[in-house]
């Protein structure tokens, strides 16, 4: 939204104007009897607004039986591994016609990098985290920070919790616009206070007040947002 304010991005522009790989998106229609994906070209162009509102047609395999099957059939990696091969994912519906949570925001990260010619790590640090003194937030963490990372636990069959090693990729092929940041509750509260302050916190303005107001409005109309159920057994 900072780039929209600066006129460097427009919400209604086709994202393919900046990311040519989005010029001819394919929609996954199903699979043939041999298990091969059946794809067709999308009719609608993917706009920046579609990506920002999760109406682009991109989904997450964790909530999609069809995309989970596509990953198995093609060997495409899950987006969580931070490998660029995950961007080969097809759409599951026409852009603008449905809402479904997915990798749209990771594509937005690619948009920011294309516009600014900076990595997402650098752009976030210079334009969000440093102005807000969010010194414990970023994709890459130091040795001292690593010792403070909260432990992931997995629920066992008997209901108990078992610690499990987990770490976001520290040598990623791309920085995830949709996730992957390390932070602290205090740092995150600072970010929220900036939004509650209409784009300003302790004298630092990151966004105009009208931009913040727009971010809190409904941009998907009557499109339903239903319950999300996992498509993958843990």
User: What is the pLDDT averaged over residues 225-232?
Assistant: 86
Residue 201's pLDDT band, with cuts at 50, 70 and 90, is very high
In this predicted structure, what is the pLDDT of residue 29? 97
User: What is the pLDDT averaged over residues 113-130?
Assistant: 97
Q: Is the pLDDT of residue 55 over 70?
A: yes
User: What is the pLDDT averaged over residues 24-45?
Assistant: 97
pLDDT tens digits, 149-173: 999 998 999 999 999 887 788 899 9
Rounded CA separation 187/27 (Å): 39
Rounded CA separation 74/151 (Å): 32
In this predicted structure, what is the pLDDT of residue 234? 56
In this predicted structure, what is the pLDDT of residue 233? 65
In this predicted structure, what is the pLDDT of residue 213? 98
In this predicted structure, what is the pLDDT of residue 166? 78
- Whole-model pTM: value is 0.93
Domain segments of the chain as ranges: 2-113, 118-215
In this predicted structure, what is the pLDDT of residue 169? 85
Q: Is the pLDDT of residue 52 over 60?
A: yes
Q: Is the pLDDT of residue 108 over 90?
A: yes
Ramachandran class of 10: left when φ > 0, alpha when ψ lies in -120 to 50, beta otherwise: beta
Q: Is the pLDDT of residue 35 over 60?
A: yes
In this predicted structure, what is the pLDDT of residue 168? 83
User: What is the pLDDT averaged over residues 221-233?
Assistant: 87
Mean pLDDT of the chain: 95
Percent above pLDDT 70 for the chain:
99
């Amino acid at each position: 939204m900072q780039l929209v304010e600066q006129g460097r991005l427009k919400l209604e522009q086709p994202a393919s104007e900046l990311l040519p790989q989005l010029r001819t998106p394919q929609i996954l229609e199903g699979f043939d009897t041999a298990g091969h994906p059946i794809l067709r070209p999308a009719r609608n162009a993917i706009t920046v607004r579609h990506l920002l509102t999760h109406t682009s047609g991109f989904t997450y395999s964790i909530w999609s039986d069809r995309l989970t099957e596509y990953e198995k059939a093609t060997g495409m990696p899950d987006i969580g591994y931070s490998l660029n091969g995950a961007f080969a994912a097809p759409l599951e519906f026409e852009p603008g016609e449905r809402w479904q949570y997915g990798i749209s925001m990771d594509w937005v990260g690619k948009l920011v990098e294309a516009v600014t010619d900076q990595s997402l790590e650098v752009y976030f640090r210079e334009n969000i985290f440093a102005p807000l003194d969010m010194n414990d937030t970023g994709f890459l963490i130091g040795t001292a920070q690593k010792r403070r990372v909260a432990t992931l636990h997995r629920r066992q069959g008997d209901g108990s919790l078992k610690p499990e090693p987990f770490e976001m990729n520290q040598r990623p092929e791309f920085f995830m616009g949709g996730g992957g940041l390390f932070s602290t509750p205090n740092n995150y509260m600072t970010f929220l206070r900036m939004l509650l302050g209409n784009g300003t916190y302790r004298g630092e303005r990151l966004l105009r007040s009208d931009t913040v107001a727009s971010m809190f409005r409904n941009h998907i109309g009557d499109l339903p947002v239903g319950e999300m159920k996992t498509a993958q057994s843990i």
